[in-house]
A and B are shown apart, each in its own frame.
Chain A
Amino acid sequence: MTGAVSVRVPRALASIVGGERTVDVALDSVATVAAVLDVLAERYPVLGRRIRDETGALRRYVNVYVNGEDVRLLSGVSTEVAPGQEIQILQSVAGG
């Protein structure tokens, strides 16, 4: 099972990835969201720091969805994702 995971980044972070809204991460088999984010962080270190802090935790007001499901309601960044699926990163409603 080979392919890629499509990661949709929010508009506010698009400039970090060259203006794109979607970044593909090659995936040979099922992997965790954390592993996909690790690949992204390797490629785009600033993007990695915007999404997770130094402990590896998702920032409080960053939401990550796998095929539309909030990973916080699944297994967090340990949630598994398969080739062909989509990860969406969204900022939650916060601030004033």
Chain B
Amino acid sequence: MSAADTVLLAIGTKKGLWLATSRNRTAWSFSGPHFLMHEIPSIGIDTRAGRTRILVGVRSEHWGPTVAHSDDLGATWVEPDHGAIRFGDTDDAALERIWQLQPDSADRPSVVWAGCEPISVWRSLDSGEHFELERALWDHPHRSQWGAGFGGAAAHSVVPHPRDPHTVHVAMSTGGVYRTTDGGRTWQPRNAGISAGFLPDPNPEFGQCVHKIARDAVTENRLYAQNHHGVYRSDDNGDTWKSIADGLPSDFGFVMLTHPSREGTVWVVPIEADAERIPPDGRLAVYRSEDAGNTWTRLDRGLPEREYNVVLRDAASVDTADPVGVYFGTRGGAVYASADEGATFTEVVGHLPDVLCVRAAVVAAP
């Protein structure tokens, strides 16, 4: 990264948001907590349109969920009066939690996606100030059969296609992967090959508990999935999936990160098992593949020798610097950063509340 660049690291926790900036990804300047005592399960850093907008999903146990945004790196926050995401009078539903705030591609600089609980996907055409419900997915005939994962029934991954504005992949817990190729008019389940070992039929059309999906930066029809047991890759835009779990200590986990510009490079953070939610053997490690999941490299330099807290699905991120930075936070409130694609990590901050969401991006210097 050049000397003029600043990396913004946003850390959403169970009890507030912390923001950090750094010019060298070694020394960090922190602000926070913002939204003290509010849960921050989702963050989007939108560097398109010539400014840095931080979007956050905020939730109070008392006062409910809302979306706020800041265009001055957290100095001030704006919350639309009537709520950026709001079910209509006839929907008979109330927003519970915003799980995902995902800026679309550079070609569509005003479009931002949201994935929410109850399971719903929303699209904003005004940079996240107001969202419209993706009605066809909300009205999907499968809805009554979608279940709730342990964390709630939510659309937690929204993955727009970088070039094709009509194609979007969504993953939900539980329901699995759904895809539209007609701009949201219709949605089809795309789970062939993904296992659902917790169901009587382990290979259903839908109902899988996919924990996170991500798209390859270069091969655009290639996606990766971290499942509730199972790590998968699809080379055909989600039509079929095959296991890439060989070489990992466990096929359970929540995180799936892809490199922002290099083909075939992904990171996961394995967890022992569904019933044993700790890092395998209590030894926290990131695993990186540089060949689309065919082989994996264990990365643990700089990480603690013993760690029994896990990394949640959105508590990990990459930045867009060169080399790429990798960041993640644990439920124990530690946040680790690597400025060399995961080869070495340092603890950026510790003893925060449970880390729910981490996002990082190169931004214009403040």
Contacts and interface: CB of A to CB of B under 8 A. Distances in A.
B92 A59 contact: no
Interface stretch (B62-70, B106-114, B155-163, B244-252): B62-70
Interface stretch (A30-38, A49-57, A67-75): A49-57
A71 B62 CA distance: 17
Nearest to B86: A54
B281 to A, nearest CB: 29
Given A53-B95, A54-B91, A92 B81 contact: no
A1 interface: no
Nearest to A92: B62
Contact of A55 (B37, B66, B82, B94): B94
Contacts of A55: 87, 92-94
In the complex, which range does the number of interface residues on chain B fall in? 20 to 34
A88 B91 CA distance: 29
B323 interface: no
A60 to B, nearest CB: 8
Contacts of A53: 64, 94-95
Interface string B57-85: 00011111010000000000001011100
A93 B51 CA distance: 40
Given A45-B81, A49-B83, A54-B86, A13 B92 contact: no
A62 B88 CA distance: 22
Nearest to B95: A54
A57 B94 contact: yes
B61 A94 contact: yes
Interface residues of A, number: 18
Given A45-B81, A54-B91, A91 B62 contact: yes
Contacts, number: 49
Contacts of B92: 55
Interface string A76-96: 000000000000000110110
A29 to B, nearest CB: 26
A12 B82 contact: no
Contacts of A51: 63
Given A54-B87, A95-B37, A62 B93 contact: no
> Which of A51, A53, A92 counts the most chain B CB atoms within 10 A?
A53
10 contacts: A12-B62, A12-B63, A46-B81, A49-B83, A50-B63, A54-B88, A57-B94, A62-B63, A91-B62, A94-B62
Interface of B: 37, 60-64, 66, 79, 81-83, 86-89, 91-95
Interface of A: 12-13, 45-46, 49-51, 53-55, 57, 59, 61-62, 91-92, 94-95
Closest 5 CB pairs of A and B: A53-B94, A50-B63, A45-B81, A91-B62, A54-B87
Given A49-B64, A50-B60, A95-B62, 19 more contacts: A12-B62, A13-B63, A49-B63, A50-B63, A53-B64, A53-B95, A54-B86, A54-B87, A54-B88, A54-B93, A55-B92, A55-B94, A57-B94, A59-B63, A59-B64, A62-B62, A62-B63, A94-B61, A95-B37
